[in-house]
Amino acid sequence: MPPAVTVDEIDFHGWDAVRLSNGIIDAICVPEIGGRLMQFSLGSHDYLFMNPELLGARFTFEEYAGDGTILGWKNYGGAKTWPAPQGWDGEGQWPGPPDPVLDSGRYDYQTSEASVLMTSPPDARSGLRIRRQVTLKPGSSRLQLRLFFENISNRVIRWSIWDVAQMLCSKADGQLNDDCWLYIPTDQTRERPYDVLFGDDNEQYQLHAESGLLAVQYQGIVGKIGVHSPAGWIAFADRRAGFVLCMQFPYEPDAEYPDNGATVECWTESPGAPSPIPIRSPGYILEAEILSPLHTLRPLEIKMQQVTWSAAACPAPIIDVSDVGCVHEPLRVDIDGGWARIRGEFGCFVEGRAEIEFLNVASAVLDRVDLGPVSSMRALHVDAQARIPDGASLIRLSILDVDGADAGTLASLSIPEL
């Protein structure tokens, strides 16, 4: 059995915080500053930006509100949930940050066996109460976010659930790390693979036309894009460190999304970078943002969006993500005289073992090849040779958990006819 999840109330840089840990990943939640997930770590590797100038800082309601412009925003970093669309034209837009209630208010919280539930104060401006539930499971590097919007007003409101994570893009010496990337599958049926929402189109945005994969290479340029991404995943990679963080979300093909159909958005900034409007960036930041469909909520109605974070050591780029791992180099096979050489490069989200399975057309397993133990802390490099059983038509790379149970399929490949 894997170690159980621990949930501890701790002091975190002077804040009252809750730490969830399963021996693989740690998640630090700080309810009193907007219900933030302030840090997420795989082993000793931290993924999220934290503003060093605001660690442990608290402010009054009036100080959080500031002058209403982004220059007055107390940007702590971490990950938080906002309403979208953002804007300043009327009631159906969220004019933040700053927002002294939803972004910076003191959230109530409750802990349970493996999770923490953080609840915002009611916000008359948006008509919302936000709940953020953070849950870990034993034996994996996966964190589940369940995000709830409740209409606490007496009117009908319409919002998208917008989750925003500020990814750390600096090196150990504090300087800009231009080997941080965000990989976003695009919708190849669309005329434009992405929309520039702020700033100019620039060299950070690199589209691989054949695959439709958009790679955002962080260079500290101030800008924002929106992407209608139907694949249901994005992946942040610090290629210098060799770690990735994948985010999975449900996609509803017939639903309406904000900002010209964006399911994913990416904002980048850095200290001193030119900007069309004044900003005061506290660091080298890439925001990985996931949006739900626009929900119409009647009074007291609740809507929920689920986002799953999964961390692994893995080379980049990332070209696919599943519930048990991510793919850097896809599974491939070379056939020679009835023997198969099987190769590929992956990251694993589950602690356990990997095996190659040979299956027939009826999906019956004909043979297995044990590839040994796997861990989120090590990339899985597959280079195995095996004799192909008679009748085999499919090769499957499967992950077993520490108890030997089938955790899921990481990749599969049809066997060419001999």
- 250: tokens are 């449900």
- Residue 260 gets the label, from left (phi > 0), alpha (psi -120 to 50) or beta, of left
Both ends of the chain: CA-CA distance in Å?
42
* Rounded Cα gap, residues 267 and 374, in angstroms: 34
| pLDDT tens digits, one per residue of 162-208 | 999 999 999 999 999 999 999 999 999 999 999 999 999 999 999 99
Query: What's the pLDDT score for residue 417?
Result: 63
Which helix (H) or strand (E) segment holds residue 61: the answer is: helix 61-65
| pLDDT tens digits, one per residue of 308-357 | 999 999 999 999 999 999 999 999 999 998 999 999 999 999 999 999 99
| pLDDT tens digits, one per residue of 203-219 | 999 999 899 999 999 99
Question: Mean of the per-residue pLDDT values for the chain?
Answer: 97
Whether residue 418 has pLDDT greater than 70: no
Task: Report residue 90's pLDDT band, with 50, 70 and 90 as the boundaries.
Answer: confident
Which helix (H) or strand (E) segment holds residue 415: the answer is: none
- Residue 63 gets the label, from left (phi > 0), alpha (psi -120 to 50) or beta, of alpha
| pLDDT tens digits, one per residue of 62-79 | 999 999 999 999 999 999
Beta sheet of 406-414, edge-to-edge order: 365-374, 352-359, 394-401, 406-414
In the chain, pLDDT over 70 holds for what percent of residues? 100
Query: What's the pLDDT score for residue 91?
Result: 87
Report yes or no: 92 and 158 within 8 Å, Cβ to Cβ: yes
Sequence-ordered list of residues with C-beta below 8 angstroms from that of 209, at least 6 positions apart, any chain: none
* CA 209 to chain CA centroid, nearest Å: 24
* Rounded Cα gap, residues 404 and 408, in angstroms: 12
Provide the pairing of β-strand 180-185 with 325-336.
unpaired
- 64: tokens are 């959080």
Q: Name the nearest CA neighbour of 378 among 285, 335, 308, 314.
A: 314
* CA 59 to chain CA centroid, nearest Å: 29
Query: What's the pLDDT score for residue 1?
Result: 85
| pLDDT tens digits, one per residue of 129-161 | 999 999 999 999 999 999 999 999 999 999 999
- 350: tokens are 């589950």
Report yes or no: 158 and 296 within 8 Å, Cβ to Cβ: yes
- 10: tokens are 């701790």
Query: What's the pLDDT score for residue 137?
Result: 93
Beta sheet of 339-348, edge-to-edge order: 320-321, 325-336, 339-348, 380-387
Report yes or no: 333 and 382 within 8 Å, Cβ to Cβ: no
Whether residue 416 has pLDDT greater than 90: no
* Rounded Cα gap, residues 418 and 216, in angstroms: 41
* CA 81 to chain CA centroid, nearest Å: 13
Report yes or no: 21 and 5 within 8 Å, Cβ to Cβ: yes
- Residue 53 gets the label, from left (phi > 0), alpha (psi -120 to 50) or beta, of alpha
The dihedral sign for the CA sequence 248, 253, 254, 256: positive
User: Mapping DSSP to helix (H, G, I), strand (E, B) and coil, where does residue 71 land?
Assistant: helix
Query: What's the pLDDT score for residue 118?
Result: 99
CA distances from 229 to 135, 153, 214, 236 (A): 25, 32, 10, 15
Q: What is the pTM of this model?
A: 0.97
User: Mapping DSSP to helix (H, G, I), strand (E, B) and coil, where does residue 198 land?
Assistant: strand
Environment class of 373 (CB within 10 Å of its CB; exposed 0-12, middle 13-18, buried 19+) = middle
| pLDDT tens digits, one per residue of 282-299 | 999 999 999 999 999 999
Within 13 A of 20's CA, how many CA atoms are on the CB side? 27
